Amino acid sequence: MNKDQLQADSAMHQDIDSDFSKIIDAGLSRRRFMQGGATAMGLFLAANPLTQAVAASAQPNSKLLGFDKIPTSTADTFVVPEGYVAKPLISWGDPILQGAPMFDESGKQPSSAQAGQFGDNTDGMSFFPLSEDRALLAVNNEYTNYKLLFDHQGQAMTADDVKKAQAAHGVSVFEIKRSNDGWEYIKDSKYNRRITANTEMMLTGPAAGHDLMKTSADASGKKVLGTFNNCANGETPWGTYLTCEENFNGYFAKPGGEQDVHQKRYGIKDDSKYQWYKFDDRFDVTKEANEPNRHGWVVEIDPMDPTATPLKRTALGRFKHENAAVTVADNGHVVVYLGDDERGEHIYKFVSRNKYNPSNQAANRDLLEQGTLYVARFNAKDGEVRGTGEWIELTYGKNGLTKENGFNSQAEVMIFAREAATVVGATTMDRPEWVAVHPETKTVCCTLTNNKNRGKKDNQPVGGPNPRANNKYGQIVRWNEANGDNTAATFKWDLFLVAGNPTVHKDFYAGSANITDENMFNSPDGLGFDQGGRLWIMTDGKYSNEGDFAGMGNNQVLVADPATGEVRRFATGPIACELTGLAFSPDQRTVFIGVQHPGEKDKPSHFPAGGNSKPRSTIMVVQRKDGGIIAA
């Protein structure tokens, strides 16, 4: 354990109640919130007395953060602090399988080319060491942009174009090795693999084999093709990769058909911009009513075996999965925290039935097959932004999950987990994105990215962890499970930060006191702790640099000290990108950061190659010039 880790540990092992009150008060200062105009803010303040001592705790000087903050940027580059260097590792279309051609930016390459190349729109990723100098990266390829993928911009789709789009999705696994220059990827490694929207996988757990999972191609209800819209990720202590299916609904269409209550809740529409349903019947819900039920899961992949069948883990529930934050509780059960990224949806946790066995990794392989899924309810007194919470079990026969309320089995509770969460009274959140668990203290954080519906819809009232109407900026909620036990039924929560723009607003929308004109941002999304206990925050927000977002520039990466609340900007991305995907080498001397969709919506990016080139999603390798630990 190094000096930085020791510092982080001692900071995080402080009494959690006093730590909580410090940060909350740092977060929601008298200066900001006394000036709020709305009625809800008045309530908020009346119950939230603050002191001078508390306001002082937001002052910068963290010993945990050892890098120089950088300013915002509107340039078409990836910027890191003084003393750091960032280089591209791999970009959309780079060949990874044997025989795959080089990237060709004409948009005319066939599906067979894309099937051997790195997929589009890099997202969540994990690092799996092979040796000191070699490793595998497993990387999600979330979606694809037809304006860049095709020479016809998606205006003249063919059956092969649909196959090409399907091949641009999924997961890429490839080997990397250390070089004099950082890291490089190895083309043709025996480990390299593309998993796409057409790769055969198995459904496991309580929903596998249920009638609602059967299709004309699969009478067993257990065999499914593909994964797509793979947003963020997780990794297990037994060495597997978890990829999370997010906006799967957008690939299905029910042309001319009326959506049933389940299809409405999960967002099946009568059309799909991807147009797969026009050439591939399983995406036409009038023809295959159950195919959407086979998507919206967490998928477990063994990155070390390119022939291993990916396993969809239905015990973790079906919704628009963001990431899967895995921890082993002190009692040995595996806990997976899960966010459902849609306005007014929920935060979940899965607890494995069986215990983790550190001395026999093979015995851990099916730990995600059986267990209990819970959903979070946050309690708070009127106007307070801290409180208690409880995990409500989503088990058939309990908590109203009965025939009277439309549930006939545990399979149905998992397939329609969102509807089960509503029945049990879960709290509607401001779009839960990534969850992260502190490596030592087991404190849990979740980004709530933004929510324009907050305060407008009856089921999304202002209050508790979602304290602002028309929430343009987002916040990070944090909780500690009772007695430090991640399997506990109750927790205490607060807000670690409330994003905002203190140069434009003087009220609630200025954000918490740890947000200043020097570190402001909007829409926190990617989230992770490094081994030293620093909290990494990646943004997927508005980059107009105008109005409510004036002075924020392009999307960015920030690093925070969980104990002091200080937030410092570490990186800025190129034009019209989102920064997403975060992985560290075990020695903490390299961080891999994903640049997704630079130049989206025809914005003028030519990242990473410059000149007049097509913009391409790219993974960046970031290191210190002196070889030191990142951000320390």
Residues that bind Ca ion (CB under 5 A): 433, 449, 525, 540
For residue 341, which phi and psi values (nearest 5 degrees)? -85, 85
Instruction: Choose the one of Ca ion, ligand FEO, none that binds residue 113, judging by a C-beta under 5 to 8 angstroms depending on kind.
Output: none
Whether residue 33 contacts residue 45, with contact meaning beta carbons closer than 8 Å, is answered with yes
Q: Which is nearer to Ca ion, 121 or 585 (CB)?
A: 121
Instruction: Draw the binding track, 341-380, toward ligand FEO (x: CB under 6 A; -: no contact).
Output: x---------------------------------------
CA distance to 172, 199, 235, 252, per residue, from 167 (Å): 10, 9, 23, 17
CA dihedral 72, 76, 79, 85 (to 10 degrees): -170
Nearer to Ca ion by Cβ, of 24 and 244: the residue is: 244
Q: Residue 142's binding partner, choosing from Ca ion, ligand FEO, none, with beta-carbon cut-off 5 to 8 A by kind?
A: ligand FEO
- For residues 134 to 173, the per-residue mask of contacts with ligand FEO, x marking binding by CB under 6 A and - elsewhere, is --------x-------------------------------
Q: How many CB atoms within 10 Å of residue 187?
A: 17
In the bound state with Ca ion, the residue whose beta carbon lies nearer, of 121 and 514, is: 121
Select from Ca ion, ligand FEO, none the partner in contact with residue 300, using the beta carbon and a kind-dependent cut-off of 5 to 8 Å.
none
CB of 124 or CB of 205, closer to ligand FEO: 124
Please report how close the Cβ of residue 591 comes to ligand FEO at its closest, in angstroms.
20
Cβ 431 to ligand FEO shortest distance, Å: 7
Tell me the closest approach of the beta carbon of residue 528 to ligand FEO, in angstroms.
Answer: 14
Residue 15 burial by CB count (10 A; 0-12/13-18/19+): exposed, middle or buried? exposed
Q: Which residue is nearest to Ca ion (CB)?
A: 540
b/e code 537-549 from CB counts within 10 Å (16+ = b): bbbbbbbeeeeeb
Give, as ranges, the residues between 328 and 347 that touch ligand FEO (CB under 6 A): 341
Closer of 302 and 322 to ligand FEO (Cβ) = 322
Mapped onto helix, strand or coil, the DSSP state of residue 5 is: helix
Pairing of strands 200-204, 311-313: parallel
Cβ atoms 252, 285 nearer than 8 A: yes
Report the residue number, 140 or 514, with the smaller CB distance to Ca ion.
140
Q: Taking CB under 6 A as the criterion, which residues in 410-439 touch ligand FEO?
A: 433
Residues 218, 215: Cα–Cα separation, whole Å: 5
Residue 218 or 246: the one with the smaller Cβ distance to ligand FEO is 246
CB of 540 to Ca ion, least distance (A): 4
State which residue, 7 or 166, has the beta carbon closest to ligand FEO: 166
Q: Which is nearer to Ca ion, 117 or 140 (CB)?
A: 140
> Residue 591 binds which one of Ca ion, ligand FEO, none, with CB within 5 to 8 A depending on kind?
none
**What is the closest distance, in whole angstroms, from the C-beta atom of residue 228 to ligand FEO in the complex?**
12
623 within 8 A of 630, measured Cβ to Cβ: yes
Interaction between residue 94 and ligand FEO (CB under 6 A): no
Pairwise CA distance, residues 485 & 497, whole Å: 24
Report d(CA 454, CA 597) in Å as an integer.
27
Task: Output the smallest distance, CB 339 to ligand FEO, in A.
Answer: 8
Nearest to 117 by CA among 168, 185, 175: 168
Min dist CB 66 to ligand FEO, Å, is 30
Buried b (16+ CB within 10 A) or exposed e, 438-469: bbbbbbbbbbbbbbebbbeeeebebbbbbbbb
- In the bound state with Ca ion, the residue whose beta carbon lies nearer, of 384 and 540, is 540
By CB under 6 A, what part of segment 216-235 binds ligand FEO?
Answer: 231
CB of 140 to ligand FEO, least distance (A): 9
Question: Min. distance of Cβ 88 from Ca ion in angstroms?
Answer: 21
CA 615 – CA 620 distance, rounded (Å): 14
Task: Report residue 527 as tokens.
Answer: 């989230």
**CB neighbourhood size of 402 (10 A):** 13
CA distance 117 to 96: 5
- The angle formed by the CA atoms of residues 134, 579 and 623, to the nearest 5 degrees, is 40
Residue 322 is a binding residue for ligand FEO (CB under 6 A): yes
Window 244-283: contact mask with ligand FEO (x via CB under 6 A): --x-------------------------------------
* DSSP secondary structure code for residue 514 in this structure: T
| Residue 246: contacted member of ligand FEO, Ca ion, none (CB under 5 to 8 Å, by partner type) | ligand FEO
Q: Which partner in Ca ion, ligand FEO, none is near 227 (CB below 5 to 8 A by kind)?
A: none
Under a CB-based contact definition with an 8 Å cutoff, are residues 94 and 34 in contact?
A: no
- How many residues touch ligand FEO under the rule CB under 6 A: the total is 6
Helix (H) or strand (E) holding 22: helix 16-27
The residue among 300 and 345 lying less far from ligand FEO, judged by its C-beta, is 345
Smallest distance from Ca ion to CB 143, Å: 11
Strand partners, 201: 224
Beta carbon of residue 449, minimum distance to Ca ion (angstroms, whole number): 5
d(CA 162, CA 170): 14
Given the rule CB under 6 A, which residues bind ligand FEO?
Answer: 142, 231, 246, 322, 341, 433
